């Protein structure tokens, strides 16, 4: 009886360990940080790619760039090459990294990009290629077996202005600055016109005075 109980306990322990390992593997998908970013900002994005499998190495990662995101600078990852796939308008449609990461390791890629001007959620769809020829498609919804990483574009997020290349403010702030600039420009134009008219009036008065003096002599 005791032996049966011990065997049952051992079986349950092994099952729990396997279940826990399976849950860990299911959670170890491609991640993109930050999870929240400001609109119309220059942001550093970090892509974390775990080995995921125990029987094959990751050899290529293809990341689809979400609409409205404009990458402009890329970090170097030792042992990996980078290729940019351009859209018809010459913007970056995909970033493809090729190299090798062992099953029990992970690799990180980084790049700077301008975020979309409007709030919303963007999805980072990615394909993870393995040395045995298989491909995992991280393109699903957050609750799916192969979810795509997501970033929320929120007006309440802190500005990052990565690399000093951003507009230096949110969309509303940028619009306010533009209106202020346009107002200032309009005021400057009006002042210039007033000064120009005054100069012409002074020149005409001086000319009339000189003409009168000429006649009097």
- Residues pairing with 129 in the sheet: 60, 135
Whether residue 3 is contained in a domain is answered as no
75 & 160 share domain: yes
3-class SS at 71? strand
Domain hosting 202: range is: 170-207
- Lateral strand order in the sheet of 42-50: 31-33, 42-50, 106-114, 70-74
Instruction: Look up residue 191 and give its two tokens.
Output: 């002042």
pLDDT of residue 53: 86
Q: What is the pTM of this model?
A: 0.65
Considering its fold, how many domains does the chain have in total? 2
pLDDT of residue 201: 42
126 & 180 share domain: no
Looking at residue 75, which CATH number applies to its domain?
2.60.40.2230
Whether residue 147 is contained in a domain is answered as yes
Residues 93-114: tens digit of each pLDDT? 999 999 999 988 999 999 999 9
193 & 107 share domain: no
**DSSP of 105-136, one letter per residue?**
-EEEEEEEEEPPSS-EEEEE-EEEEETTS-EE
Whether residue 23 is contained in a domain is answered as no
Whether residue 12 is contained in a domain is answered as no
Q: What is the mean pLDDT of each run of 10 residues along the chain (217 residues)?
A: 45 38 53 98 97 92 98 97 96 97 94 98 98 97 96 97 62 41 40 40 44 45
Whether residue 18 is contained in a domain is answered as no
197 & 112 share domain: no
pLDDT of residue 52: 81
Please give the mean pLDDT across all residues of the chain.
Answer: 76
């Amino acid at each position: 009886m005791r032996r049966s109980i011990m065997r049952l306990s051992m079986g349950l322990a092994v099952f729990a360990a396997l279940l826990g390992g399976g849950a860990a593997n299911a959670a170890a998908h491609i991640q993109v940080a930050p999870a929240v970013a400001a609109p119309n900002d220059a942001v550093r994005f970090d892509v974390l790619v775990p080995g995921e499998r125990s029987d094959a190495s990751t050899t290529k990662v293809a990341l689809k760039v979400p609409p409205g995101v404009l990458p402009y600078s890329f970090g170097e990852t030792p042992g990996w090459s980078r290729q940019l796939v351009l859209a018809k308008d010459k913007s970056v449609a995909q970033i493809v990294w090729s190299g090798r990461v062992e099953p029990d390791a992970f690799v990180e890629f980084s790049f700077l990009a301008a975020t979309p001007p409007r709030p919303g959620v963007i999805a980072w769809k990615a394909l993870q290629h393995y040395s045995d020829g298989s491909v995992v498609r991280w393109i699903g919804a957050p609750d799916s077996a192969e979810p795509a990483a997501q970033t929320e574009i929120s007006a309440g997020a802190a500005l990052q202005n990565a690399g000093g290349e951003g507009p230096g403010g949110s969309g509303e702030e940028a619009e306010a600055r533009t209106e202020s600039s346009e107002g200032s420009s309009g005021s400057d134009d009006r002042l210039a016109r007033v000064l120009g008219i005054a100069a012409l009036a002074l020149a005409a008065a001086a000319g009339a005075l000189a003409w009168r003096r000429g006649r009097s002599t």
